[in-house]
Amino acid sequence: MSDKKTKGLWASILGMKCPRCRLGDLFETPTFSFQKSFEMPSRCPHCRQKYVLEPGFYYGAMFISYILSGWFCLGLIGLFMLVLGWSVWTSFGVLLIICAILFVWFFRISRSLYIHIWVKYNPKYSKINEGDSPKDS
């Protein structure tokens, strides 16, 4: 019997959920609340998975962020200039505004993607109740 609340891999990454149980939130506040944007709890509130596996763990997420935002910006500038025919100044002005708004989202999605690479989903942890302590955490 599957738990209806448990998400798939991409839903878990995009929803910024714990990679092990896919239920606990990676961040305490919503992305676009712009409050405590860069703070993560030390452990999953649901299964107690550590979110920082080792010191400097999220260093690798910077590269993911760089790649994602780089391709995003190239695509958007291409759309503005080649498809919509906007000028260079208008295109980069709009791009700057969009990137300023999406900055926190890129930061968070990169961390979410990165921790999903290293921590594998374990359905056992989706079934435990919040507050229970799993044996091998």
Residues that bind Zn ion (CB under 5 A): 18, 20-21, 24, 44, 46-47, 49
Q: How far is the CB of 92 from Zn ion (least distance, A)?
A: 40
Q: Phi then psi for 50, rounded to 5 degrees?
A: -70, 135
> Is the Cβ of residue 46 or residue 80 nearer to Zn ion in the bound state?
46
- Which residue carries 């295109």 as its tokens? 91
> Is the Cβ of residue 16 or residue 109 nearer to Zn ion in the bound state?
16
> Is the Cβ of residue 18 or residue 115 nearer to Zn ion in the bound state?
18
Please work out, in degrees rounded to the nearest 5, the angle formed at the alpha carbon of residue 70 by the alpha carbons of 34 and 72: 70
Q: How far is the CB of 5 from Zn ion (least distance, A)?
A: 12
> Is the Cβ of residue 26 or residue 109 nearer to Zn ion in the bound state?
26
Q: How far is the CB of 20 from Zn ion (least distance, A)?
A: 5
Cα separation, 13 vs 118, in Å, equals: 12
As a residue count, the chain comes to 137
Residue 43, beta-bridge partner list: 50
Q: How far is the CB of 17 from Zn ion (least distance, A)?
A: 8
Cα separation, 111 vs 62, in Å, equals: 8
